[in-house]
Amino acid sequence: MRFVDPGVGTVNEEYLFEALAHHGALVASAREVCYRKEFGPQDEMFIGDAFGLFEAKGVRSLVGIEIKDWAAAVTPKLARAYLGTYGRSCDFVYLAARRFLPGVHRVRGLGLIQLDGPKVLREADRLRPDAAAWRFVIGQMGEGTGSAAVHPGQQRLGERERAGPTIPAAHRSEREP
């Protein structure tokens, strides 16, 4: 199965999202999405191959996938570049390829997907993307993403005050009769 069509771009991305079910339920997805507001005509690295908005336990996570559907093995330098670029806006970043050079497995935080299958070779670590960049990508994804996507690290004004002070469980049990 191929994941890149030279005339179209990314194809068959739904199979990659199925392999990422451990991130929760897929709420929305898109392909060939601009993920930087400062995008210019010569900035082809700012068009992401596939993005999925997942929801698990009430928390939404944006997952970005860069697809390298070619015969050559992916290098660690390329892997670090895509982690840095996608990581500005995504909670989780995956690189999907047919072959990886051994050093790619040492790139911390990056998830790896083997295109033959596809199957997850290594789960990505949660990153801390910029909240505005996160919302921008979700806004580019179109319908089904929610009109006011809330970044998982975002708090609304007054949330902390309404919640009151937090008392550790051990102290709570000492005060209760």
Domain boundaries, the chain: 4-175
What is the dihedral sign for C-alpha 43, 23, 77, 2? negative
- Euclidean distance between CA atoms 97 and 4, whole angstroms: 11
- Whole-number pLDDT of residue 29: 86
Sort strands 119-122 and 92-97 into parallel, antiparallel or unpaired: unpaired
Cis geometry, peptide bond prior to residue 152 (ω within 30 degrees of 0): no
Give me the pLDDT at residue 35, please. Answer: 60
Show Cβ contacts of residue 71 under 8 Å, excluding neighbours closer than 6 positions: 98, 99
How far is Cα 49 from Cα 30, in angstroms, rounded to an integer? Answer: 8
pLDDT along the chain (177 residues), means of 10: 62 82 93 64 64 93 90 93 91 94 95 92 95 88 55 45 42 38
- CA 26 to centroid of chain Cα atoms: 12
How far is 113 from 104, CA to CA, in rounded Å?
12
pLDDT at 131: 92
pLDDT of residue 133: 87
